[in-house]
A and B are shown apart, each in its own frame.
Chain A
Amino acid sequence: MSATFVGMPAFPAAAREALSDTQLRRNLAHATGTIRAKRAAVVGEVDEWEELRMAGAAIKDNTLRHLDEHLLRLEKSLTDRGATVHWARDAAEACEIVASIAKQHAVDEVVKVKSMATQEIGLNEALATQGITAWETDLAELIVQLGDDLPSHILVPAIHRNRAEIREIFRDKMAAAGRPAPDDLSDRPAELAGAARLHLREKFLRARMAVSGANFAVAETGTLVVVESEGNGRMCLTLPEVLVSVVGIEKIVPTWSDLDVFLQLLPRSSTGERMNPYTSTWSGATEGQEAHVVLLDNGRTRALADEVGRQALRCIRCSACLNVCPVYERTGGHAYGSVYPGPIGAILNPLLRGTGVDDQVDSLPYASSLCGACFEACPVRIDIPEVLVHLRSKVVDAHRSAPKAEAVAMKSASWVLADSKRLGLAERGMGLAGRLLGRFGRKVMPGGRRALGRLPWPGSLWSNARDVPAPPAESFRAWWRREGRR
């Protein structure tokens, strides 16, 4: 696996490969099970949880409906407080802005606090092509970056790795990136975290420029908010002379006081804690630091124009939907082929990038059983199943041209079913097939009925993911003729 999502196969192919990785499934089942239990316990403590969800959804919806006004207000309040505001239509433009700020300050390395927006735009790779190294400083991001791997979870990007794998990555790769791992490094989590602390501290102390995202941007006051646990965020936000924050335009909340909703919803939904260890807020340039804010579109206005899908822009990237999703738990994040995996990724990617353009993106609305657990877990009440169904219809519409095999099959089926004589004949044929296939069926389903293995193409499109029951040896009507008249 290389450190880019470009060229990833469509979800069904990627998922099949992931399902055969038993180590991955064990790591994931353990991690998602743990975090589900923690989240349930701390959410259960809050009697007004449903009201907070309603408030969170309403605040975000109200902001999105007047996003142009809030963007202008945010720009003004940031500028008034000494920050420089940049606007980026797409990934390339955003990366170019960050690179040019680095060049103005003659820096060839930057430290980064984990940011979904900068992963989305491929900032690290873009900076590398201009000779600028970006060091990820979140422990999980460090594991992913050193392992030349891809993140697989919004909140815990290395959720697919266990401690033994992490130890190997640190021992093999740390030396080439700076301070090497200690020779006697064990796989105890505390020792692994200690090695990361020493390795990264030398980078924090010498860094002159940092890049961050923001969890929230307050239009009224120009306040950016970063929520984190390790202190690497605080290191990036406070130590370097120059701070560049890449902020998606959907991150806005109108007023400072609105944060009282999100600072309750986010920690409990994400890490399952009452509060994350560190939250930093700052308004514009502070303590003599030069501050830049890049307001990023990159498909967000496309999502905004979709009346059903617009609600996905409420997302606060907590990852609660990933941890409750039966599909994510078995396939992991890589199968989604994007920095936004899981149920939210299955809707966010097609909304940001459009349907009917890319087979990988078009496969994502189908990466779900529509069980609804994600909607129930979402702290801002995004109706993910509703959006999935809506996007499936858009994908179908985008590919509507020659009649498909399925449509042809349905048409002939309707001809058979429309007439009792034709149906009787078909059933006799099925009975014969059933007696034959039942004998050769390779699996036995619950209840004792035989099931077939994979069908030849085009039946394989159906049977690759499902057991196909052998047809019954006798139709109901045949049975009735034989038995029912006694």
Chain B
Amino acid sequence: MSAREEILGRVRSALAAADPSLAPVPRGYRSVVPAGDVVELFAERLVDYRAELTRCTADTLPAALASALGDAGSVLVPDGFPWEVPGGVPDTGQSAAELDRLDAVVTLAALAIATTGTIVLDHGPGQGRRAVSLVPDRHVCVLRTDQIVPGVPQAVAALSPDRPQTWISGPSATSDIELNRVEGVHGPRTLHVLLVSS
């Protein structure tokens, strides 16, 4: 018998005497929304994760972008990123080793979650493939205030599993040494969010 048939057979015999009825799943949590302004809450929680935050408008964005990139000499720019980037290098499918030699990356995001201070990339236009927001040490992400949803349930409902996703809450971090939080292990050591008022 194949492993598949045998495992399915074991599952069925294990459940032979089990009650097949389904327990009700309470879903009241989906309508709970945080009190107050979600943009302010997002900003507070994001900074709490030691990410950097710059608030700007469409007009002041280019200056904010240049400032966030600082002295980065080479910046990966994914297809569909709508602004000019000083030192910009287009994504031509660079290998991991080539990405490792770049100083920074700029991306858009699919949405952001206020209660957890999380930005979510679904790697659509302007967000790049998954590796580009991972290997360079500085990640600058441009987010509009109208992309912020209140909580995790609203984010899951708005996202499609057909696209791969990367949920990012602050820079890469570890708490493995005496539970001290240290930023920057394998991912970008700096996450800088430019929050554009809409």
Chain A interface residues toward B at CB < 8 A: 27, 30-31, 34-35, 47-48, 51-52, 54-55, 58-59, 61-62, 65-68, 71-72, 86-89, 93, 137-140, 143, 156-159, 162-163, 166, 189-190, 192-194, 196-197, 200-201, 204-205, 218, 221, 223, 229-232, 234-235, 237-239, 249, 256-257, 259-261, 263-264, 267, 271, 273-283, 286-287, 295, 297, 301-302, 304-305, 307, 310
Contact = CB atoms under 8 A, between A and B. Distances in A.
Contact of A230 (B13, B130, B185): B185
B185 A55 contact: no
Point out which of B157, B161, B165 has the most chain A C-beta atoms below 10 A from its C-beta: B161
A156 B175 contact: yes
A389 B29 CA distance: 33
A232 to B, nearest CB: 5
Given A47-B32, A88-B3, A55 B27 contact: yes
B20 interface: yes
B3 A93 contact: yes
A72 B30 CA distance: 29
B66 interface: no
Given A87-B3, A162-B178, A194-B184, 19 more contacts: A48-B29, A58-B25, A65-B18, A140-B174, A163-B178, A192-B177, A221-B162, A230-B173, A237-B130, A264-B151, A267-B116, A274-B116, A275-B117, A277-B49, A277-B169, A279-B166, A280-B130, A281-B165, A302-B14
A305 B186 contact: no
Contacts of A71: 7-8, 11
A363 B46 CA distance: 46
A439 to B, nearest CB: 48
Interface string B1-33: 011101110111111011110111111111010
Contacts of A192: 177
B115 interface: yes
Contact of A87 (B2, B25, B162, B173): B2
23 contacts: A30-B179, A47-B32, A51-B29, A71-B8, A72-B8, A140-B176, A193-B177, A197-B185, A204-B186, A221-B161, A221-B162, A239-B96, A239-B131, A257-B156, A260-B152, A263-B152, A264-B29, A275-B118, A278-B166, A279-B167, A297-B7, A301-B14, A310-B18
Contact of B164 (A163, A259, A263, A281): A281
B173 A68 contact: no
A204 to B, nearest CB: 7
B170 interface: yes
Contacts of A86: 3
B4 A205 contact: no
Given A51-B29, A275-B116, A283 B162 contact: yes
Contacts of B74: none
Contact of B173 (A31, A229, A287, A305): A229
Interface of B: 2-4, 6-8, 10-15, 17-20, 22-30, 32, 45, 49, 96-97, 100, 113, 115-118, 129-131, 134, 151-153, 155-157, 161-162, 164-180, 182, 184-188
Closest 5 CB pairs of A and B: A231-B187, A305-B14, A301-B10, A275-B116, A231-B186
A185 to B, nearest CB: 13
A423 to B, nearest CB: 48
B153 A260 contact: yes
B130 A27 contact: no
A274 B45 contact: yes
A278 B11 contact: no
Contacts of B49: 277
Nearest to B154: A260
A54 B26 contact: yes
A230 B187 contact: yes
Given A200-B186, A301-B10, A55 B15 contact: no
A194 B137 CA distance: 13
Given A197-B185, A260-B152, A277 B134 contact: no
Contact of A67 (B15, B45, B170, B187): B15
A318 to B, nearest CB: 14
Nearest to B13: A305
B18 A307 contact: yes
A279 B184 CA distance: 16
B176 to A, nearest CB: 4
Contacts of B23: 58, 61-62
B28 A51 contact: yes
Given A66-B20, A229-B172, A234 B187 contact: yes
A304 B14 contact: yes
Point out which of A34, A163, A193, A201 has the most chain B C-beta atoms below 10 A from its C-beta: A193
A257 B180 CA distance: 33
A193 B174 contact: yes
Contact of B180 (A189, A205, A235): A189
Contacts of A31: 178-179
Contact of B7 (A143, A218, A249, A267): A249
Nearest to B186: A231
A14 B117 CA distance: 43
A35 B4 CA distance: 40
A62 to B, nearest CB: 5
Nearest to B156: A260
A68 B11 contact: yes
A277 B172 contact: yes
Contacts of A89: 3, 6-7
Given A156-B175, A197-B184, A275 B113 contact: yes
Given A197-B186, A275-B117, A304 B161 contact: no
A273 B10 CA distance: 38
A137 B186 CA distance: 9
Contact of A204 (B96, B167, B168): B96
A27 B161 CA distance: 41
Contacts of A273: 169
Contacts of A249: 7, 11
B28 to A, nearest CB: 6
